[in-house]
Amino acid sequence: MAKVFTAKPLFDAHLSFTRLPSGLNMLRDYPDALAFIKQQSEKIPDVFADFNHTQAFLKSYSRKNEATYRSYRNEVERLLLWSWTVACKSIVQLRRADLENFFDFVNHPPDHWISTAVHDRFKMRGGSLCCNPLWRPFVTKIAKRDRALALADGKDVIMGRQAHRLSNSAMKICFSALSCFYNYLTDESYAFGNPIPAIRKQSPYLLVGASQKEIRRLSDMQWQFVLETAQGAANRDPSMERSLFMIALLKTLYLRISELSERPNWQPSWQHFWSDNEGNQWLKVLGKGNKIRDVSVPDALLPYIQRYRNYRSSESFSFGANSPLVVKNRGIGGMTSRQLRRIVQATFDAAYKHMVEEGFGDQAETLQAASSHWLRHTGASQDIATRPLKHMADDLGHASMATTDQVYIQSDMKERAYSGKDRDV
């Protein structure tokens, strides 16, 4: 196998993809991807058909939301690139042994298929969207703390790609997406059947069993420093009211970062705060699976909401109920998940620095690894002991109370650990 990565990305981000025409016309502004497909078709005649059916699958199965598209795209694109450049076959020529080799490949891809950072697939050059030479189908994760330390020391961020392994949950997603893909190809009479379920049953990469899932959350001390840091920044600089508002909202209402972001089918706005007949406050959000839910808003959060509302109204005469919930300080409109994460990360970084200065360096260390999702877990973990499980499940957006119970209630595990401490050897 060649040690140089020669494949190209095929499908752009969700917003761009949904606006593109069908068939190879989709690639009229993507000259590198089109040239790559034409090159592969010289060796494998069915490459054009593979591409067209995959594009149709993504358009059909990814209409609901961006997350579904991104997950399916990543998995089927890896299969296409591997099938064409490694197996040198059309996807409908792959047999069970080929696909077993593919899952071996996915579980431990070669170094030249792996990047140490997320890179855009395409870059605009001369009016065309050219493939980014830094992009790879797999990305190995580097702990934020390790990355920050390396950059602080002026060193390059280096991580051995040979350590890359997909997690059990990532392999499950891979099997699920490709099974759905082959079902689609079979329904369209392009493939002769779906071999994925039979392979999945015998796969060594899917582990079965229950284990306690670690909840990544802030400690009570870390949360207090994060909140105080955000408040202090907002008191000194009114433009930081946005950060304080976001931090308080994400933690107290157990929100996912995407639920504050602007999406093609949903724009969080101030009208989504509403009161019922008894004066109770609620926030309407669009969660996973395109499900709308109402999250109860506690009285303690109202001052933080009012602070940001006052700031927004003072900055813009056009501020009103239809205004986006969180906006750019410069420019117009709502914000993407990536932009929102950067704001949260800046607050975490400032809180970490504050804790170190106050002599709590040891307790601050895990804060360097924290992500915005930790705020959701922090709020839910703190409240689970005092609120009914059904109420928690509804506010979290869990379809089943069993999910809430499994994720946040750890009393059985603690009791089991306690009763087992005194066992003899």
Instruction: Assess whether pLDDT exceeds 60 at residue 59.
Output: yes
The mean per-residue pLDDT over the stretch 207-229 comes to 80
Same domain, residue pair 189 and 272 = no
CA 226 to each of CA 190, 193, 217, 218, 246: distance values in angstroms, whole numbers, following the listed order: 54, 53, 12, 9, 12
Same domain, residue pair 51 and 187 = yes
- pLDDT given at position 140: 84
Same domain, residue pair 225 and 97 = no
Same domain, residue pair 46 and 188 = yes
Percent of the chain at pLDDT exceeding 70: 88
Confidence at 290, pLDDT banded by 50, 70, 90? confident
Same domain, residue pair 307 and 411 = yes
CATH number at residue 370: 1.10.443.10
Identify which of 70, 30, 24, 19 has the alpha carbon closest to the alpha carbon of residue 47. 24
Per residue in 70-105, pLDDT tens?
999 999 999 999 999 999 999 999 999 999 999 999
Confidence at 170, pLDDT banded by 50, 70, 90? confident
Task: Classify residue 412: in a domain, yes or no.
Answer: yes
Instruction: Assess whether pLDDT exceeds 80 at residue 56.
Output: yes
Task: Classify residue 314: in a domain, yes or no.
Answer: yes
**Domain final position from 201, 228, 258:** 201
Same domain, residue pair 164 and 20 = yes
CB burial readout 361-378, b (16+ within 10 A) else e: eeebebbbebebbbbbbb
Task: Classify residue 9: in a domain, yes or no.
Answer: no
Task: Classify residue 212: in a domain, yes or no.
Answer: no
CA 136 to each of CA 5, 52, 361: distance values in angstroms, whole numbers, following the listed order: 8, 22, 36
Same domain, residue pair 182 and 226 = no
Task: Classify residue 320: in a domain, yes or no.
Answer: yes
Same domain, residue pair 120 and 45 = yes
Q: Which residue has the higher pLDDT, 202 or 332?
A: 202
**Domain final position from 201, 231, 255:** 201
- pLDDT given at position 396: 93
Per residue in 89-148, pLDDT tens?
999 999 999 999 999 999 989 999 999 888 999 999 988 999 999 999 998 876 556 556
Same domain, residue pair 248 and 197 = no
Number of domains within the chain: 2
**Domain final position from 148, 170, 201:** 201
Same domain, residue pair 325 and 391 = yes
Mean pLDDT (the chain, rounded): 88
- pLDDT given at position 151: 58
Domain encompassing residue 274? 220-420
Confidence at 15, pLDDT banded by 50, 70, 90? confident
Same domain, residue pair 394 and 260 = yes
Task: Classify residue 206: in a domain, yes or no.
Answer: no
Same domain, residue pair 263 and 117 = no
Task: Classify residue 2: in a domain, yes or no.
Answer: no
Looking at residue 20, the DSSP 8-state letter turns out to be: S
Burial of 321 (0-12, 13-18, 19+ CB in 10 A): exposed
Per residue in 172-209, pLDDT tens?
999 999 999 999 999 999 999 999 999 999 888 877 65
For the ranges 199-208, 256-265, 348-357, the maximum mean pLDDT occurs at: 348-357
Task: Classify residue 5: in a domain, yes or no.
Answer: no
Q: For the chain, how are helix, strand and coil distributed in percent, rounded to 5?
A: 55, 5, 35
Q: Are 255 and 266 in contact (CB under 8 A)?
A: no
Query: Is this model's pTM higher than 0.75 or not?
Result: no
